Amino acid sequence: MLLRDERQAALNRVETLCINSADDYASAATQTDDAALAALFEQLGQERRGMAEALAPHIRALGDLPQDPDPDREALDHVVVGLKALLSGDGGATLVEHRLRAEDALREAVLAAQDADLPEHTHAALAGMLAGIDRARARLLEIRA
């Protein structure tokens, strides 16, 4: 069993949430009939995947390896969200709400990681991620309004 220190665990949590978010955005894009919303989901999913890829070298620099997401958990989450969207009567709004909650969780994880004793270049990367998350949240909130 690999023991991670606080810094490694914090960065791995952010990376895992980014990967999960990227996959969840891709799934949400296929669950809506709204072409503009699907395009936004695809774009944000690519941004989250890019965030995960950008974070991987920082994790390795701390002597750890990036984690792999749990495909079973992700598949179950996609089914549950799809069913909620289908049953809600306004699937797009349900998908947007789900993505906002995920962005909030990712934002909290990034803020927690920023509290860790990390190199300055890692803090800069996290600050850039936080700005991207805030932009995504603003776009999702626009759609919700």
Quick: pLDDT tens for 95-134. 999 999 999 999 999 999 999 999 999 999 999 999 999 9
Q: Which domains does the chain have, with CATH numbers?
A: 6-62+72-144 (1.20.1260.10)
Q: Measured on CA atoms in the order 28, 51, 113, 67, is the torsion positive or negative?
A: positive
pTM for this prediction: 0.81
End-to-end CA distance of the chain: 47
Q: Measured on CA atoms in the order 57, 66, 23, 141, is the torsion positive or negative?
A: negative
Alpha-carbon distance of 18 to 1, in angstroms, equals 24
pLDDT confidence of residue 2: 57
Tokens representing residue 113 in the block: 């990681």
